[in-house]
Structure 1
Amino acid sequence: MKKPSDNDPNEYGIGDLLGLGRQSVRKNYYPALQQRIDELEQERNRYKWLFENALHGIFQANLRGGFLACNPAMARICGYDSAEQLQNRIIRLREQLFFSASEFDVLRQELLDRGSLNARETRFRRADQSPVDVAITMLRRPDLGPEVVETFVADISERVHARQRLEQLNAELEHRVLERTEALQNANVDLRYQIEEREKIEKELVVAKESAEEANRSKDKYLAAASHDLLQPLNAARLMVSALQESSLPEKEGRMVRQAHRALEGAEELLADLLDISKLDQQAMNPDFIHLDIDELVRDLGEEFVAVATNSGLEFRIRSTSAVVRTDQRMLARIIRNLLSNAFRYTQQGGVLLAVRVRSECVRLEVWDTGVGIAPEKLKDIFAEFHQVLPNGAGGRQGAGLGLAIVERMVGVLGCQIDVVSALGRGSRFTLTLPLTTAARFEKTRQPAAFSALREGFDGALVLVIDNEPSVLESMQALLERWGCEVMAVQGRDEALSELARTGKCPKAILADYHLDDEKTGFDAIHQVRKYLGQDVPGAIVTADRSDEVRTLLRAQYLPVLNKPVKPNRLRALLTSFVTTLST
């Protein structure tokens, strides 16, 4: 469970374990094994995060001694302030951790005989010497030592207390039954009343038992919210609601659809913010520096907020100029987008200005608003996560308070600087300062939402949609058909090729999920479709995978990426660009 330190020269790293320690080996096997190293490193970070943030206790120990490693949840169960304190205090499991030494001996012998124990109930000794009821699952690790074990621990104190209470209730019930049985023998007149009373008590006991069991099941569940599993149904719901918005609905139903759309947007923003905060705090978000013209990026992002300004009744201006900077385009776009969202959120009248100013050695990107402003003494708090400064007139809490926390962390990753000045009742100005770069050539990666006017319809343009989730296919098809597209919806590469062969049609665009069944990818599906048709049909990847590896791979293949949940305006802009390119 304990990983080698990356800084200790006496310990081996992943590269050494895979045989990459020598220069000659790295040269021969680097392309294939480096990717595997990156995957192992990412997996190691993932399991490290799960180990440290698990709800249940986890430890590795020697049955003849003490702990080798333990997580914070284990320390909380045993009443210690930290995992380090628990590990230092407990040097003998038998006498110091287990409340009963004889019970430890039984468990130890059974573990040595069988190799594992599953959900065995026992009692541990807390820091204050009081017992705590736990359920342990132990696995022997002879590869690490003859008596080295790995153990998962769940605090079942509430379950045990509930069981004891039920036993007490049962005992009391039996006592009352005996009393009433004796009374019934002497008074037949009260027979029916006593029977009804007993049945009532038994029903209450069943309800109490079921409630206790349900509470216990809820307590023992892990909250395993993988980003992909959460984003898939959210994407399907977002697309379906967008399709409904394109329909002519009665006012009441239309209002309900709009409310559902806003709720989904809020859930999407919160989930994206939580994922980004987690990656940034783990230093798992690596910048991909390129040279780009900030004017192009600013104007593309500005067009995204034109509709926001219109719906809010606010004026929105952009003052930009060409300037080359070296930065991560995705992170910089997220910073600007968060600053603009924050500006519109706290501005009720007036407007917002997005400006680019070039100085001698730097580029200043400024976001001005005429909102409620921030008191000077509270400026230091605005970048804290889950914290919002809410002056009078702000309209109550809005969002989760993660937008500026993400901005501050990404600014640190990019090595630039952000400043803010504000006045209550007059507004705020956020200034992002980036070093100015001189470059004869730079990469231009236009974002799909860079169209000021989208076509009303697509005149029956055929769009091939590949996704292994039926709900996503159904939602995507409903939305695209509302836009006037003809949709060929399939669940994989082979099905796409079969359908194209059957119909003899050629799509004008391909939208493919990255992760398909049988470990196949949307990138491969697009490549095979293009090869079959003999045409470079415009294609894009739609994915919930936001990892740097996937983003870098798709960028190298010049494939646009739409992250799930898909924003309908970006999807429509992307399809418009595909159709426009083909028509020209």
Structure 2
Amino acid sequence: MPGKSIPAIRLRGQVESEKIEVLFRNTSFALITNLLLSAGLVWVLWNVAEHQTLIGWWAAIIFLIVVRLALLIGYRRRGAASTLPWHHYLTIATMLAGAAWGAAGILFFNPDSPIALIFITITLAGITAGSVASYSSWRPAQYASIPTALPIALRYLMAGGDFWIMGLMCILYLFNVLASARQISRVLDESIRLRLEKQGLVRQLQDEKRAAEQARMRAEEANLAKSRFLAAANHDLRQPLHAVTLFVQALRHSPDKARAGEILEHLEASTRSLEGLLNELLDISKLEAGLFKPQISVLSLQDIFDGLERELRPVAEEKGIELGFVATRLEILSDPQMLGRILRNIITNAIRYTDRGAVLVGARRKKNGVAIAVYDTGQGIAPEHHQAIFREFYQLENPERDRRKGLGLGLAIVDRLCRILDHPLTLRSTLGRGTAFFVQAPLAPEAARLRETDQEDVPARLEGWSVLVIDDDAVVRRATAEVLESWGCRTLTAESTEEALARIERASFVPDVIIADYRLREGRTGSEAIAAVRKAVGAHIPALILTGDTAPERLREASASQYLLLHKPVHPGRLRSALAGLRELVREPGP
């Protein structure tokens, strides 16, 4: 449908602009016509009319020609920011010119000179007809023909005798000219509208074609990135898993207890490496699922710096480089956990890729906020890699995928967290001279500093607690039960909701807490299982959900369940803390 490609208001504005352009374009021809016809009229009437009146009339015509010419030149030379209503000024000048021509029909009406009368009548008729071509694009300017033709028509009617017929013909002629002008104006308006709509549709098709091409290219790039991502993740997951398999086999055949202890240390290191990779993969999935919700508060940058210094200084000292933090009193608005993660990843990355020298962290007040900077004296990053380093699993100078050099996810997480917090992230780097990352955060207003007091961890006592474990993986059920029983808990395990309900009834088992995997068999979920057990027992039993699913849509579903959510693999200490927190909940009567 016409008009879909261009909004109606915008289209009307474009049509009006085109009509004004046509008005000024035709004005130059009208000015030449006015000059020639006025000179001819003066020549014909020179021996008939009074010279002083004739010259004065012609001077007025010339003056109005000059005025309109000046308006035409001004319109052509106007700047893009000009807001002057040039077309209104031209319309007024045109109406005055029409009145000046109409005055000739009264001033020089001489029945005794048929030649002069005929010439005046034909000249005014020509000027009136010319207005159709010159001013039909702009309706207000069309009415200049009225003061041009109407005075001589009235003069003919006033002359009496046979002249009244000429007067009547002049009036009819004027109406015909005005009707023709309106018709031409409508046709011109429609043709301009159709042309603009056609151009708009062509541009829209071209834009859609370009957008489709860009979407195709982005899809291809995303597909390639996904392939690279999966290949790298597959490699990095298999490495520690391969090591775990070998260490387990070595442990099984090792009679030496000292040797077995050493193997256990290596086994634990491999599982930590695997856990670290899975946690970073989980963070990427959480970011894609939109589960990171910033909790903005007033933060002391010095507190953030102190915590990072305590955590990362041993890492820098182990590598033999200096890690420095510039003291600051600045306070900002940000999320403490997310900002800490951003700076930790950047600093860790800087330490990893700096062989000698130092890593310096500081902050400086800017006009529009606070710039937190991390400088290093490393090898620097070539300009062609400045965008690529923020892609998942992209690492410079690590083709062998050495896990000691990281997993290539740190800066990808930094980039996404900065976008969530609306903290602009910039990078400056020179090969051979080091790199600087800048995180821009808003300056906190003058307000009391909000501090969170750290609570000391109290060892959780879980002896005698009854725990129901629902998981469709037999190995996971057995491992979870072993850990819980080592803490003094009574456990009951089941692979489905139905089995859990049946075993609870047979054993008269009333759980103090429920641990359920989110995704069970046959499309069931842990949320449904918890609700069914609560209904059967008749109590609002505290519960937590475990999930190993990293698909963004699954994470959103699990997060929306309102239960405490932990992501596999769960460290036993984290599980114990979560259970201790749940134990504080008081049972409430169920439905």
Rg (Cα) greater in structure:
2
State the TM bucket, normalised to the shorter chain.
Answer: 0.3 to 0.5
Query: Under a length normalisation based on structure 1, what TM-score does the superposition of the two structures give?
Result: 0.43
Length-normalised TM-score, structure 2 = 0.42
